[in-house]
Amino acid sequence: MKIAVVGTGYVGLVTGTCFAETGNTVTCIDIDASKVESLSKGKMTIYEPGLDVLFERNRKENRLLFTTNLAEGIKDAEVIFLALPTPPGEDGSADLKYILGVANELGKILDHYAVIIDKSTVPVGTSEKVHAAVAANAKVDFDVVSNPEFLREGVAVDDFMKPDRVVIGTNSERAKVIMEKLYAPLVRQGNPVIFMDERSAEMTKYAANAFLAMKITFMNEIANLCEKAGADVDNVRRGIGTDSRIGKRFLFPGIGYGGSCFPKDVQALGKTATEYGYDFKILKSVMLVNDKQKTKLIPRVKEYFGGELKGKTIALWGLAFKPHTDDIREAPALYNIKALRRAGAKVVVFDPEATANVRKEIGKKVKYAKSPYEAVEGADALMIMTEWPEFRTPDFEKLSAALNNKVIFDGRNLYDLTEMRTLGYDYYSIGRED
Ligand code: UGA
């Protein structure tokens, strides 16, 4: 099949590369000429484990092409994916200017039937708006389909190639046949392709992310209560997760969810609810609790140092909003850096992948270490912000030799309480006795 993908950001590049891998010829289109040049030369523009191998293979096979020219990119394409940014506007609603701008252009240049697919996370009703924007100038037949993505950063290739399900919103039989053919190689194990109307597909994406954000937030509240009630959230998590109605995944408490999706999507769904005159109370609580959770450890750090952080050096392990990504959007680490600096502390940070992005954002406000042990050298305390695997089994002897105090504030519950006690650490984590 000949496929066009408009937008070579995270979703676009994963979508394009993975569909090339299943034997299609994919042209990715972006207005950013420097990006297109890098990608054409084989230089990846994002960090995503496993994507580089597929990218290289398909580029060499000439199945993965890049251009800045929309008309050239969509030539003969049976399907055209729109994977464009939908940044939150000032009022929290998703800004559709990029998507509708391209839709408008498409109407003018489309010279054959194509299925235009909304891959970006867009509010309910967007398919209709895209349809109208294309139709304004269209000379040929076309369909607009909603096909939300459920990719997690860090495991996006696996999520794409082995999806739990594929959701497709369309009432067009013609589009349905094409979409079925497109996804057939990815659902051979029998995972469902679920067809529905466009509005339901758009709502499904928001409902999924909001539900997951709520699940995490619920566990964070249980953790907060466990601390007060003398229970251990790790036991509670195992105790409830084995109930198949609840499920084991996404029950890990911590310092809040971050990233480019959950915060934005929860906010946008709240905005949609308001627009339709519905007071979505749970969403409001989720946002409030998560905001507070991010800096939950700061009062404990202050308390440990007798209320005064001036002159103290705090080492931070982890900057990315989660492991296996260099993405720092809405990362809890950034909020903690801000709070620590506001309280007068010096901050030294280490992250295996995200350092360059943090440097771009906050420059010299913190010191950047080249290794986890360099970060703690002479520091007064260690805080853990991201559960990178390399932080899970540190050399505790080396750690205590480097730190001024044997104290760890762990926002991701990496260590065993008994072991930490035996090692003589003051160890503070989330929802467990200290
Ligand atoms: C999320 C969804 O999981 C994807 O299905 C969706 O496609 C994507 O958003 C999107 O809308 O594009 P992602 O933002 O990559 O994916 O990250 P997640 O792995 O879902 O983690 C989100 C946040 O929740 C992270 O900050 C993570 O640390 C936190 N989290 C996750 C917890 O605090 N506890 C958990 O048990 C799980």
What's the gap between Cα 265 and its chain centre? Answer: 11
Closest CA to 218 of 233, 229, 203, 208: 233
Closest CA to 85 of 35, 133, 42, 120: 120
Same fold, 2-196 and 205-293: no
What CATH number matches the domain at 205-293, 3.40.50.880, 1.10.10.10, 1.10.645.10, 1.10.1040.10? 1.10.1040.10
Between helices 332-342 and 355-362, what is the axis angle to 10°? 50
Question: In which element (H, E) is residue 143 found?
Answer: strand 142-146
Task: Give me the amino acid identity at 259.
Answer: G
Q: Which CATH architecture has domain 2-196?
A: 3-Layer(aba) Sandwich (3.40)
What's the gap between Cα 293 and its chain centre? Answer: 18
Rounded to two decimals, what is the model's pTM?
0.94
Ligand 1 pocket, residue 28 CB under 6 Å: no
Ligand 1 pocket, residue 430 CB under 6 Å: no
Provide the 10 A C-beta neighbour count for residue 135. Answer: 12
Provide the 10 A C-beta neighbour count for residue 261. Answer: 22
Q: Which CATH superfamily includes the segment(s) 295-428?
A: NAD(P)-binding Rossmann-like Domain (3.40.50.720)
Closest Cα to atom 22, ligand 1: which residue? 257
User: In the chain, what are the domain boundaries?
Assistant: 2-196, 205-293, 295-428
Give the distance (Å) from ligand 1 centre to CA of residue 400.
33
Choose which residue among 11, 13, 152, 251 to substitute to test ligand 1 binding: the one with the highest number of ligand atoms within 8 A of its C-beta. 152
In the residue annotation, 261 being an active-site residue is answered as yes
Distance CA 407, CA 322 (A): 23
Q: What is the pLDDT along the chain (434 residues), one digit of tens a residue?
A: 999 999 999 999 999 999 999 999 999 999 999 999 999 999 999 889 999 999 999 999 999 999 999 999 999 999 999 999 988 788 877 899 999 999 999 999 999 999 999 999 999 999 999 999 999 999 999 999 999 999 998 899 999 999 999 999 999 999 999 999 999 999 998 899 999 999 999 999 999 999 999 999 999 999 999 999 999 999 999 999 999 999 999 999 999 999 989 999 999 999 999 999 999 999 999 999 999 999 999 999 999 999 999 999 999 999 999 999 899 999 999 999 999 999 999 999 999 999 999 999 999 999 999 999 999 999 999 999 999 999 999 999 999 999 999 999 999 999 999 999 999 999 999 999 76
Q: What is the largest CA-CA distance in the chain?
A: 75
Distance CA 372, CA 359 (A): 17
Query: Tokens representing 9?
Result: 């950001």
Choose which residue among 84, 158, 205, 212 to substitute to test ligand 1 binding: the one with the highest number of ligand atoms within 8 A of its C-beta. 212
343-355 in b/e form (b: 16+ CB < 10 A) is bebbbbbbbbbbb
Which ligand 1 atom is nearest residue 330's CA?
A: 26
